[in-house]
């Protein structure tokens, strides 16, 4: 018996099979029409794997790029590396437990992930939330929105090659996170909203931190973005790249800042008002360009509107309880409820079905990141490989939310 020897590149008789030349993984068998089209390589085209462990993919995302030279011809995102089956877990937990499973979906905007299931369960139970609790929710939510947008700005610049903004963004975010920690007891996965209210009233520590921060937040936003808005490298690499027009945005079911950057002033807070947003004054910033730069600038405008909302909340905060009276074990009557909220990335929605037991019969979580990652395959073709990550960063998907 002869022992097999490893082929050596010095061996003159070595031949590399043509269909494996340069590609170390066999091309998968095409199952669908789209795959057949994707894996048919024309002259000069090749496949390039990106991720799943890549620092610019904002999590565990793998992208198969079809490239021609330096230009991207087509791409196929491969997701599911973070899939935890949150919907199934929620269906096997009771209503209160289900809320904490939704926290880690979009770990940098956890409050919004809790908000829509909590609202859906309140609809199932016909609970009225005390007004003070609603104001606290809006207050904490808008702080979380600013923290999330701060990271967006930082990572957007980082993916375009700038290191400083991410360090500044983390400084800014850290202040907000400390505030929320004083309020909720946690820095990342807050688990603060409860069915019928919130877990605990405002604390003195939180209020003094917010007041202190609000007195200089506006100036800090200006200082932080002045670094980027007038940066020629950033502007030139973002302007006119990844243009999403109005009609396509609607056809792709896009929501949130990405939709508003394409010129549609659609915001759940105004389109389908919830909580105390109808009482608050704020604008819905929109832009018409629909490119990466517009998506970035729009988020900066949103931060300013969030500051306005926080200011009003602090001034109008009513007195009263922060929780409705509810039993520990809730059993809603059989029924269905759908609730949607506007988060930093778009519309977060929950569709819950009750069968009369203490566990949701079906809990569907709709996450905007999932929809926005789908856009990548539409916006990138025709651009350079380096712009793939820049466009991805401008769309702002969070893989925890994409994979559920």
Which residues contribute to the site for other proteins (CB under 8 A)?
28, 31-35, 79-80, 83, 85, 87-89, 91-94, 96-97, 123, 248, 250-255, 266, 271-272, 328-329, 335-338, 340, 347, 349, 351, 353, 357-358, 362, 364, 366, 370-371, 374, 403-404
72: Cβ contacts below 8 Å, ≥ 6 apart:
65, 66, 380, 381, 382, 383, 384, 385, 387, 388
Q: What is the DSSP string of 54-119?
A: -GGGSSS-EEEEEEETTEEEEEEEE--TT---HHHHHHTS-HHHHHHHHTTTTTTSHHHHHHHHHH
CA–CA separation, 361 vs 353, rounded Å? 5
C-alpha dihedral sign at 308, 153, 251, 351: negative
CB of 88 to other proteins, least distance (A): 6
For other proteins, the closer CB: 198 or 375? 375
At residue 148, φ and ψ (nearest 5 deg) are -70, -40
CB of 156 to other proteins, least distance (A): 23
72 alpha carbon, distance to own chain's centre = 25
CB of 265 to other proteins, least distance (A): 11
Cα-Cα-Cα-Cα torsion 350, 82, 76, 160, nearest 10 degrees, comes to: 100
Helix (H, G, I), strand (E, B) or coil at 149: helix
For other proteins, the closer CB: 116 or 144? 116
For other proteins, the closer CB: 54 or 96? 96
For other proteins, the closer CB: 32 or 215? 32
CB of 80 to other proteins, least distance (A): 4
Q: Examine residue 141 and say whether the peptide bond preceding it is cis (omega within 30 degrees of 0).
A: no
Q: What angle do CA 60, 376, 78 make, to 5 degrees?
A: 40
For other proteins, the closer CB: 83 or 236? 83
| Pairing state between β 197-198 and 45-50 | unpaired
CB of 303 to other proteins, least distance (A): 25
Cβ distance 298 to 260 under 8 Å?
Answer: yes
C-alpha dihedral sign at 100, 372, 150, 61: positive
CB of 394 to other proteins, least distance (A): 18
For other proteins, the closer CB: 306 or 394? 394
Which string of b and e fits 235-253 if b means at least 16 CB within 10 Å?
A: eebbeebbbbeeeebeebb
CB of 313 to other proteins, least distance (A): 23
For other proteins, the closer CB: 349 or 389? 349
CB of 374 to other proteins, least distance (A): 5
For other proteins, the closer CB: 147 or 379? 379
């Amino acid at each position: 018996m002869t022992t097999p020897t490893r082929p050596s590149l010095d061996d003159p008789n070595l031949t590399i099979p043509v269909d494996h030349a340069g590609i170390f993984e066999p091309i998968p068998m095409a199952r669908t029409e789209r795959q057949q089209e994707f894996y048919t390589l024309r002259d000069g085209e090749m496949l390039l794997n990106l991720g799943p462990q890549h620092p610019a993919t904002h999590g565990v995302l793998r992208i198969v790029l079809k490239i021609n030279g330096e230009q991207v011809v087509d791409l196929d995102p491969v997701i599911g590396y973070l899939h935890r089956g949150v919907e199934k877990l929620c269906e096997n937990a009771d209503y209160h437990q289900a809320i904490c499973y939704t926290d880690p979906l979009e770990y940098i905007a956890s409050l919004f992930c809790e908000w829509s299931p909590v609202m859906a369960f309140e609809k199932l139970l016909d609970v009225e939330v005390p007004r003070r609790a609603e104001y606290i929710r809006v207050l904490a939510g808008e702080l979380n929105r600013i923290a999330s947008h701060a990271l967006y700005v930082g990572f957007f610049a980082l993916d375009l090659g700038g290191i400083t903004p991410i360090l500044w963004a983390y400084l800014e975010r850290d202040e907000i996170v400390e505030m929320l920690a004083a309020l909720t007891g946690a820095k990342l996965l807050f688990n603060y909203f409860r069915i019928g209210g919130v877990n605990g009233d405002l604390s003195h520590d939180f209020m003094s931190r917010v007041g202190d921060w609000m007195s200089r937040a506006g100036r800090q936003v200006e200082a932080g973005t002045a670094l980027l808005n007038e940066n020629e490298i950033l502007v030139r690499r973002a302007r006119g790249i990844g243009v999403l027009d109005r009609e396509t945005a609607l056809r792709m079911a896009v929501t949130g800042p990405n939709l508003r950057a394409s010129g549609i002033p659609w915001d759940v807070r105004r389109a389908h008002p919830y909580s105390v947003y109808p009482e608050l004054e704020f604008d819905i910033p929109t832009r018409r360009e629909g490119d990466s730069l517009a998506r970035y600038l729009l988020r900066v405008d949103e931060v300013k509107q969030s500051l306005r909302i926080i200011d009003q909340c602090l001034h109008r905060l009513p007195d009263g309880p922060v929780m409705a009276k509810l039993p520990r074990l809730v059993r809603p009557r059989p029924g269905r409820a759908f609730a949607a909220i506007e988060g930093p990335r778009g519309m977060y929605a929950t569709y819950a079905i009750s069968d009369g037991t203490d566990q949701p019969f079906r809990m569907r979580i709709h996450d905007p990141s999932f929809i926005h990652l789908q856009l990548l395959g539409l916006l990138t073709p025709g651009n350079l490989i380096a712009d793939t990550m820049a466009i991805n960063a401008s769309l702002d998907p969070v893989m925890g939310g994409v994979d559920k």
